[in-house]
Copies of this chain bind each other. A is one copy, B any other.
C-alpha cells in the first residue's frame, strides 16, 4: 500500500475540512464537532441531540420562536383539544385560531422584533406582560395570560440593559400548574429563555430551570467563538428557518463553523466552571462601584451645585447580574455620558448595543422608570474578567468630573 500522506482535493466543499465530508479529514472534523457539542450538553445538563449550533444569539432566538410557529405541531393539539374550536383543514392560515405567545416588555430585540415580524405576517397573537418597577416579571401575571392556544412563553433569563434576573424556575412551575388543567401530556405552552446575558454568572442547567428552549451566544463569553447555540428539548418539534443541507439534525442548514464552535464550547465550560468564584469577585467590585458612585454624588450635592437630583439605579439590586450597573442621571441623556466617558478612555453603554442607531432611548428603561425620564435612557456599566478596582476608581472620578462639567448645560 502506498505511503500515507495527506492530499486535500476537496476545496469545493470548504477550504478547511468540513464535518459533512466522508473522507478521513471530514470524519475527524465531525468528531471534533461532536466533541464540542458534548461539552455544551454537559454544561447545560442536556443531551447531544438537543444542541443546535447557529451563528448567533439573534439566530438562536429566531430559530426558537419562528421554528415553533412554523413547525405547526401545535395545530394537531389545538384541533383536538380546544373546546368549541372546529377542526379546520390545512393549511394553517385557514385555522380559525392563531398560535399565541406570552412574553415580557423588556426582552431583547431579537425576541420582541421576531414577534412583530410574525404578527405582521398574521401568524401569531401576542401578549406582552409588563415587568414590575424593579425590572422583574411576576410569574403569576405570566400564568394569567396563558390561554388554550398559547404555544410559547418566552422570558429572558437576565436582561441585557439592567441585568435583572427573571424567575425562570417559578415561571416554569406556573406553566406546569396550568398544564395540569389540560389533558395529560399536553405539550403547550413551551418555555423559551434567552440566556445570552446569563452565561457567565448563572446556572444554565436546563432541567433545573425547567425550560424547553434556551438561547446562548458566544459574543458574551471571553474567548468564545462567534457562534450561537439553541438548546431544544428532544420532544420539541422545530422547523428550520433556512432551506439547505441537513446539518444540525436538519434544523440549521449550512456548513458548521467548526473552529469557532470549538472555541465556544471550551470558553463556555470555563465560564461556567468559574462562574461562582467570578460572580463573587465581580459583585464585590460592582457594589464598590455603586457605593463610590453614590458617595461621589453626595459630594457633588454637598458642594451645592444647583438642582442636583439623586441618580436613579435602574432595576432590582438583589436579583441582578453581578457585573451590571445601570444608572439614570437626572436631566442628562445617557448617550451623552457615554461619549464623555469615551473621551476619557472609558467604554460604557447607553442602551442595548444590539439596537444600533435606533433612536428614542431605551424601551427597557421606559418600562421601569418611575418618573418620565425614560427618554434619558440608562448609563450601563457592564464589568468583565479584566475589570479592576483601579478601573472603577478612575471611572467614578471621571464621571464626577463629567457631571460637574455638564451641570452648566443641563441645569
A74 to chain B, nearest CB (A): 15
Q: Are A226 and B395 in contact (CB under 8 A)?
A: no
Most buried by B among A22, A257, A381: A22
* Copies of this chain in its oligomeric complex: 2
Category for how many chain A residues contact B: 35 or more
Verify A5–B254 contact, CB threshold 8 A: no
Q: Is the CB of A221 within 8 A of B349?
A: no
Taken together as a complex, chains A and B put the C-alpha atoms of A160 and B245 apart, in Å, by: 13
Contact between A14 and B342, CB atoms less than 8 A apart = no
What is the bound-complex CA distance between A245 and B344, given in angstroms? 28
Contact A6 B345 (CB under 8 A): yes
CA distance A121 to B243 in the complex (A): 12
**Binary contact readout A38-57 vs B (1 if CB under 8 angstroms, 0 otherwise):** 00000000000000000111
Q: How far is the CA of A127 from the CA of B345 in the complex (A)?
A: 58
Tell me the dominant secondary structure on chain A's binding face.
loop
Tell me which residues across on chain B come within 8 A of A16, comparing CB atoms.
219
Q: Is A7 in contact with chain B by the CB < 8 A criterion?
A: yes
Flag if B254 contacts A222 (CB, 8 Å).
no
Q: Which residues of B contact A197 (CB under 8 A)?
A: 12
A241, closest chain B residue (CB): B241
At the interface, yes or no: A193 with Cβ under 8 Å from chain B?
A: no
A114/B342 in contact, CB under 8 A: no
Within 8 A of B (CB), among A352-408: 352-358, 380-384, 386-387, 391, 394-395, 397-398, 401
A221 touches B15 (CB 8 A): yes
- Tell whether, in the assembled complex, residue A110 and residue B354 are in contact, meaning their CB atoms are under 8 Å apart: no
Q: Is A22 within 8 A of B339, CB to CB? A: yes
Select which of B17, B55, B223, B394 is within 8 A of A347 by beta carbon: B17
- List 16 interface pairs A-B (beta carbons < 8 Å), by A numbering: A7-B394, A12-B220, A13-B352, A19-B356, A23-B348, A23-B349, A24-B345, A55-B257, A58-B253, A62-B241, A91-B122, A114-B244, A117-B243, A226-B260, A255-B353, A260-B260
Q: Which residues of A contact B (CB under 8 A)?
A: 1-2, 4-26, 55-59, 61-62, 65, 70, 91, 93, 108-118, 121-122, 160-161, 163, 197, 219-224, 226, 240-247, 253-255, 257, 259-260, 321, 323-324, 335, 338-339, 341-350, 352-358, 380-384, 386-387, 391, 394-395, 397-398, 401
3 pairs of A and B residues whose beta carbons are closest in the complex: A114-B243, A20-B356, A55-B55
- With A10-B353, A23-B339, A62-B243 given, name 20 new contacts (CB 8 A): A5-B345, A6-B345, A8-B387, A9-B382, A9-B384, A11-B382, A13-B382, A23-B347, A24-B345, A25-B347, A26-B353, A58-B255, A59-B242, A93-B122, A109-B244, A110-B244, A111-B243, A113-B243, A247-B356, A253-B354
